[in-house]
Amino acid sequence: MLKNWLYVGFGLLLFGLVVFLPQGKVLAFHDVPEKYETEIHYLIDRGIIQGYPNGNFAPTDVVTREQAATMVGRALGLDGRQRNTVFPGVDADSFASGYIQSAYEEGIITGYTDGTYKPKETMTRGEMAYLISKAFSLHEISAVTYEDVQSSGSQYEAINKVSTAGIANGYDDGTYRPDASITRTEYSLLVARGLNDSFKVSQEEDVLETRVVTTDVLNVRSGPSTSYSRVGQFVRGTVIEVHQQQGDWLKVSTGSLKGYVHKDYTARTASGSRVIAIDAGHGGKDGGAEFNGLVEKEINLNVAKRVRNYLENSGVKVIMTRSDDTFIPLDDRNSYAVNNGADTFVSIHSNAFSDPSANGTETFYSSQSQRVTDSKQLALFIQDSLVEALGTKDRGVKDVPYRVIRSTSIPSTLVELGFTTNDSDAEKLGSSYWRDRAAKGISDGIIDYYEWKGK
């Protein structure tokens, strides 16, 4: 008991000293939450918050509307001289009158519809969001959502803005609790974060993967369907981070925009810098197989160009051994790739056989290659993804020493898309829809391989 009285006495003595310090300088309060000491002392040092005369900061006390106006007024350096206000219930001689009037003039606070300000009422977290968004001129919105804040509600925009800015955040259960009173600690954090970026909270979520936008303009929405409002757009080539997948929709973000996009307009990116050589088989005087009105060299080049587009969209550098109808000797193809910095080689061909019932897709590697393991893995990834994309018969991955893939210093594989001699395969090989599917399949297989290599 005696000990407690000593503390009180000491506290009074301390307060006695405080009043003789220069204006705005107050010694540290003894009840400031340790976790937020830095932010709260930042405000104390600038005279933005002051404690009670008993030396307490009272961290869990709720903030009244006049206290809120005062603190934000000090933070922004508004005119705090006590004076008449536009609000009937706020007298000129009340401590907050100057800040209330100034904040009103700045458009930071508004009264109730009956024209009053109700200075002694507590401020809610929703009202505070409005005040803070105005005070710090926040304009940016994103797809931040809280389960208890309806997107049609009047406070939605303000709560979204303070969240997007990293000034306010919700609770761990996904709620924002807009109707709850705000405590002195919570309010102090908002003001400190508004004033100093280093205090801001990150709204960042885990990144599952990065993808790239593959359409000219991609709408970004506030939720996972087209019925949600548009919050912005990404242009082709924008690299986005994926945080969540909900059906066909991805929750994504870039540095400045967050929202939902449809998965089909994005593609995976390759990590690190990758250079692939795509070799369109045959060319020029060497047409390859010719059946069913199809010329192999033409199919191969067409699919190869589509593969190039998909891979370039995914951030992979692509070298083409030929990009037109040119004859290139077999021995020159892989060495051209290596000499131009390719780390991987994929040759694209179409098959033919005397028996028209032979059909399906197969991918080759060579155990004579200096990179057998990688070559085989690359072949496996491409074969899986290509068969799935084309819906052709899976003839598997085979070890055959074709000239362009044997004795090579980089992982190399040769793809046979399907048989020009088989009616069903030939129909696909002649169709630009299926050629595109094939290209997507090959491209996805290559990215799978690069991701596997990256591990």
Active site amino acids: 416
Residues 62/122, Cβ–Cβ less than 8 Å: yes
Binding mask 371-400 for Zn ion (x = CB under 5 A): ------------------------------
Rounded CA-CA distance 216/364 in Å is 36
> Which listed residue (134, 349, 428, 435) binds Zn ion by CB under 5 A?
349
**Closest CB to Zn ion among residues 55, 281:** 281
Residues 68/48, Cβ–Cβ less than 8 Å: no
Span near Zn ion by CB under 5 A; candidates 167-175, 218-226, 277-285, 440-448: 277-285
Rounded CA-CA distance 156/126 in Å is 9
418 binds Zn ion (CB under 5 A): no
**Closest CB to Zn ion among residues 73, 288:** 288
**Closest CB to Zn ion among residues 211, 306:** 306
Strand 209-213 relative to strand 266-268, pairing: antiparallel
Question: At 18, is the secondary structure helix, strand, or coil?
Answer: helix
- CB-count burial class (<10 Å; 0-12, 13-18, 19+) for 272: exposed
Number of residues that bind Zn ion (CB under 5 A): 3
Q: Which residue is nearest to Zn ion (CB)?
A: 349
**Closest CB to Zn ion among residues 295, 338:** 295
Strand 344-351 relative to strand 361-365, pairing: unpaired
**Closest CB to Zn ion among residues 306, 349:** 349
Rounded CA-CA distance 368/408 in Å is 8
Binding mask 229-268 for Zn ion (x = CB under 5 A): ----------------------------------------
Cβ 433 to Zn ion, closest distance in Å? 22
**Closest CB to Zn ion among residues 316, 405:** 405
Strand 361-365 relative to strand 394-399, pairing: parallel
Angle at 216 between CA 214 and CA 218, to 5 degrees: 75
Span near Zn ion by CB under 5 A; candidates 61-69, 126-134, 144-152, 345-353: 345-353
Span near Zn ion by CB under 5 A; candidates 27-35, 53-61, 86-94, 274-282: 274-282
Cβ 331 to Zn ion, closest distance in Å? 16
> Which listed residue (73, 178, 281, 441) binds Zn ion by CB under 5 A?
281
Rounded CA-CA distance 339/117 in Å is 76
Quote the DSSP letter at residue 173. T
Is the Cα dihedral 105, 106, 107, 108 positive or negative?
A: negative
Quote the DSSP letter at residue 42. H
Name residues contacting Zn ion, limited to 285-314 (CB under 5 A): 288
Question: How distant, in Å, are the alpha carbons of 79, 278, 425, 436 from that of 294?
Answer: 82, 21, 11, 16
Residues 66/94, Cβ–Cβ less than 8 Å: yes
Cβ 350 to Zn ion, closest distance in Å? 6
* H or E element in which residue 220 lies: strand 217-221
Cβ 352 to Zn ion, closest distance in Å? 8
Question: How distant, in Å, are the alpha carbons of 83, 135, 139, 179, 333 from that of 127?
Answer: 24, 12, 17, 8, 68
**Closest CB to Zn ion among residues 18, 330:** 330
**Closest CB to Zn ion among residues 242, 348:** 348
In the complex, which residues of this chain contact Zn ion (CB under 5 A)? 281, 288, 349
